[in-house]
Structure 1
């Protein structure tokens, strides 16, 4: 006997055989949810408006309810059988792109329940209704080949769930085992600091010998150049070197369990940042709520958690520290949240750490604070600009790069994040100002540096953002990192490709502070690929809130050493087959680092954008010849820090869904 389903306005009646029953339903507008928390795309999604915050219009018709999205959009919901229907009108917003076609999908438990026609600007919306009875996981997907174009606005207008009474959609569960692979450090010392360090002649020098091992540890340094001194208790080396040249220093760390010895190459010349910067940035932790106490707490936590013993160095203050211009340089001064600013920086340095700041060439920063230019000759930042920050996101008539660089140098700043979507002249002006400031300040530009100018970024800056702001979703990680192969030839010592901050721990990327939505496997892939890419490693969560799993991810010295390898050669994507990407990185000692990533052909089908809860590991045969390697190799699992054995021509393994197997490959016969 056929099953009859009748959807009523006031409820839902199901007739199955001779049994009939009714259950009340509750209509739920999609825009009444905290819709940002369900988004796994990159640009913002907004409820009740289009993605730019303007009224939602499709072919001139205004919709009071709905969700506006931008670019390829991914909304994921856990319904667990508590929804019976979904309806909407889908179309391109009247302020959207006028040429690109958009396709809308509704996907439930891996099945495409609805696929729209290709919809373009100016076309009437298409109606959607799908029966969701029994559906556990639902995905709403908009696909558009935007190729970096902006304002590709589309709408789920009048979008509405029919839910069983007293039930609401939930976020997709992220409760997979948080398995720990890295063994704890030994009690005997191990030196983990970068093996090469660059500084400018005559400028202040700060290098900390990062070392694990039971305290107390006594540090020493043989052949330390004239002008430098070492604190034997802390391992902090300070001073300055006037003479250009390359100096080899023998570093030692000793405790009652043994002694570690490593060589450090100090290069005094025109190039700093000879290895990628590694530290913390405050934006994805505290956003606009950053203050002096949070910065000091982060610095203390960097030491207390032991991160500093593994080489983590920078404590970077992002946007929202800026007050008015003033002081002897007429430079941006800290606002009321940052009293005793120089004292704070000195304290960070006393811990062997370095301090960073944020600025922008615009009149108004992204968060609405004083920028590096103004339409007023004295650079004053009036409330009228602060209150209308979006209108002042451009470079003003008067520029203050030299003023601000001199002030940062006087404070002792070591790192500048310079935002937003810079053009070459602005980047060059600040580059010159920093080099003439009298202090080595690592220069990082953000956001979405155009690839067409990559040679300029490599020439002018120490790090340059290769894409948009990262979000804590696999889609964002994939776009930010798994597509960087074309950038790899341009990264290297002194100029690093930067895919943005790390999305581990508790993050606030567009929503309130919450645990990262990356699965444990995706987090291992995240750290692995950033290290293979020689990318800056900037923790984007409150350090004092780190749990054991996240701290373990950040303290594997063999994985970090791949990132900090002195050769500084970013990995290349050398193979992609059957849903597995292989990234290969040459190391200074003649060995290789390899990442085998099970991306499961992410982005190649509509279903692949979502996590369905039934994913399985993939059996994989790694054939060395397919990536250009011949002969026999000793393989080491760097996450587990264990030798696997010697293998000729191939290695068979299993890779977890969106996970990684990360190997060090040592040519047979090598002692490395």
Structure 2
């Protein structure tokens, strides 16, 4: 009895637990590691980011995580871990010119800093204690500037966890606050104010209007050759003569009527405003099929998105079958058994249809592309099985064949995807213009800035960067760095930072709610609209919740994106964690985004979300961004006038959030 008491007293005195908790060593490569990645390039378990064996200074590793370029891995430990260990270094097949720095950050404290490491350096050991740590970040920082093969490794990486606990994703439980007021019951026309079409090509335009149904539509001043369905508001036909025509649109229901002027420009330029719609890749990836596409189109109507101007239903990679038909063009695979009927049905809803292709022999998903090393254009099963080896433009090319087939089907949009070079872009541009149909031409991905004048000349939109991911880092890289592209975007040729990352998305992992916080989502939609970019929803439309639907149906925000002047916002202030983006509008007013980006990218800690972030008070001095005098300010998200302000405006901006204003000179 006395011995037991004495043992307890000794244990308490030296703070040794009488019954120690069990621990387990957990390999990072046994986790679903992609789900923890908030960077942009690939993250792979047990291999390099390229899928090769991990090799650091001649030493092979069978365990670990391979990353590419700047990499961010974020874990929620909730105090259930005790230790992290690894060997870090630049992979022997990586870029020899770029220094990498590895950091381990826990609850805002840097626990490990490797210093600059280069290819050929011996791996450095990491061993840090994590007792009580809530959030852990593993960061590799490298100034890659778009260069490829920037490979590095967290070799033999292990977490020691208490009991059977596992690391989780960083919580995203902030209030999903709704700002936009409900849509009014009386009619309001939300269509873009200008629309372009080519003479003698099929014309399709739908009057987008909110308000109680039933609703009837009419139009005065339509050019000869066009007709309007008064029940649906769908305008179809062909216009033979070039020119600019002004039509007055009308929408009427039991509560009243609304009118709006529409400029119809029949000429050489289409896509006079950025395309706005849906793309299937971040919803369904390779699992896309005809039923899912139809469900998306029907949901766009059922959810009322079409009443706010959302138009395109775009099928991404994985629809392609074999070559055939009268044009020897790409035909749909067995997931799309009634392709023509599907297109006709979607057009009947007043929506437009897009497809995906590539000038390469195989697409990124491994389907047939627009070229071949065989004269008949076919690809073999062995090519499909080794798809990575055939991601190049083959000897025989079929742009004209495919463009004619797209036109015959009634396709309205083409996403053309590869490592972009001018000759392939030009060949398809010519083929589409000769197809007999207006097909919006969007090239992807990572268009080289050095050739931006060619993209403006040849295409209707061009991807300015890599594939987007649902993280603040990816959004920041994709959109907050677009100022140098801004002078080149405009009517007929738009800067494209990729799809929107709201709702449920599958960007490299299974379908899950976006990891952007609500504040970051408001910033996302605001900046895309200010930049006059394409707005392409990347989530299953039928799964939209009230918050996301509200985010996508603010007509004043969409109007800024669709402004006929077509000017991109410019970055006019970037200081003390605040960015100001300023966009001139056709009516002489300005759209402004005040963004609290914090010190993102400036310190290792800034790459992670710690859960204790706060708002920042900011004085918006008009003169410092080139605006002088008095302005009436309107809160665009709340659709509320704030009053007249002389010279400045003081506001709080939430962390990674935005205050979006429209400014009218007084």
Judge same fold: TM > 0.5, yes or no.
yes
Q: Name the SS of the counterpart of 2:261 in structure 1.
A: strand
Q: For 2:645 and 2:614, locate their aligned partners in 1 and report how far apart those are by CA, in whole Å.
A: 26
Q: Deviations over 1:586-639 (max 9, x none)?
A: 000000000000000211111110000000000000000010000000000000
1:20 is aligned to 16
Q: For 2:147 and 2:527, locate their aligned partners in 1 and report how far apart those are by CA, in whole Å.
A: 26
2:385 is aligned to 387
Q: Deviations over 1:232-267 (max 9, x none)?
A: 010000001000000000000011111111000000
Match status 1:636 vs 2:631: no
Q: Deviations over 1:297-320 (max 9, x none)?
A: 000000000000000000000000
1:82 is aligned to 80
CA deviation after TM superposition for structure 1 residue 117, in Å: 2.2
CA deviation after TM superposition for structure 1 residue 15, in Å: 7.6
CA deviation after TM superposition for structure 1 residue 340, in Å: 1.4
2:3 is aligned to none
Q: For 1:243 and 1:569, locate their aligned partners in 2 and report how far apart those are by CA, in whole Å.
A: 28
Match status 1:649 vs 2:664: no
Match status 1:339 vs 2:328: no
Q: For 1:610 and 1:18, locate their aligned partners in 2 and report how far apart those are by CA, in whole Å.
A: 36
Q: For 1:279 and 1:659, locate their aligned partners in 2 and report how far apart those are by CA, in whole Å.
A: 24
Q: For 2:279 and 2:140, locate their aligned partners in 1 and report how far apart those are by CA, in whole Å.
A: 32
1:587 is aligned to 585
The 5 A counterparts of 1:7-406 are: 17-21=13-17, 22-406=20-404
Q: For 1:212 and 1:514, locate their aligned partners in 2 and report how far apart those are by CA, in whole Å.
A: 30
CA deviation after TM superposition for structure 1 residue 17, in Å: 4.2
Q: For 1:420 and 1:378, locate their aligned partners in 2 and report how far apart those are by CA, in whole Å.
A: 22
Q: Deviations over 1:356-405 (max 9, x none)?
A: 00000000001000100000000012101110000000000000000000
CA deviation after TM superposition for structure 1 residue 18, in Å: 3.0
The 5 A counterparts of 1:457-468 are: 457-468=455-466
Q: Name the SS of the counterpart of 1:157 in structure 2.
A: strand
Match status 1:618 vs 2:590: no
2:566 is aligned to 568
Given the two structures, how large is their TM-score scaled by the length of structure 1?
A: 0.97
CA deviation after TM superposition for structure 1 residue 577, in Å: 1.1
2:4 is aligned to none
The 5 A counterparts of 1:495-644 are: 495-644=493-642
Q: Deviations over 1:251-307 (max 9, x none)?
A: 000111111110000000000000000000000000000000000000000000000
CA deviation after TM superposition for structure 1 residue 24, in Å: 1.6
1:10 is aligned to none
1:663 is aligned to 661
1:410 is aligned to 408
Given the superposition, is the C-alpha separation of residues 128 and 363 from structure 1 closer, same or farther in structure 2, using an over 3 Å criterion? same
Q: For 2:491 and 2:149, locate their aligned partners in 1 and report how far apart those are by CA, in whole Å.
A: 36
CA deviation after TM superposition for structure 1 residue 191, in Å: 0.3
1:485 is aligned to 483
CA deviation after TM superposition for structure 1 residue 19, in Å: 2.7
CA deviation after TM superposition for structure 1 residue 422, in Å: 1.5
Q: Name the SS of the counterpart of 1:551 in structure 2.
A: helix
1:456 is aligned to 454
Given the two structures, how large is their TM-score scaled by the length of structure 2?
A: 0.98
Q: Deviations over 1:41-67 (max 9, x none)?
A: 000101111111111111121111100
Q: Name the SS of the counterpart of 2:346 in structure 1.
A: helix
Q: For 2:363 and 2:27, locate their aligned partners in 1 and report how far apart those are by CA, in whole Å.
A: 34
Q: For 1:31 and 1:370, locate their aligned partners in 2 and report how far apart those are by CA, in whole Å.
A: 33
Unaligned runs of 5+ in 2: 1-9
Given the superposition, is the C-alpha separation of residues 229 and 478 from structure 1 closer, same or farther in structure 2, using an over 3 Å criterion? same
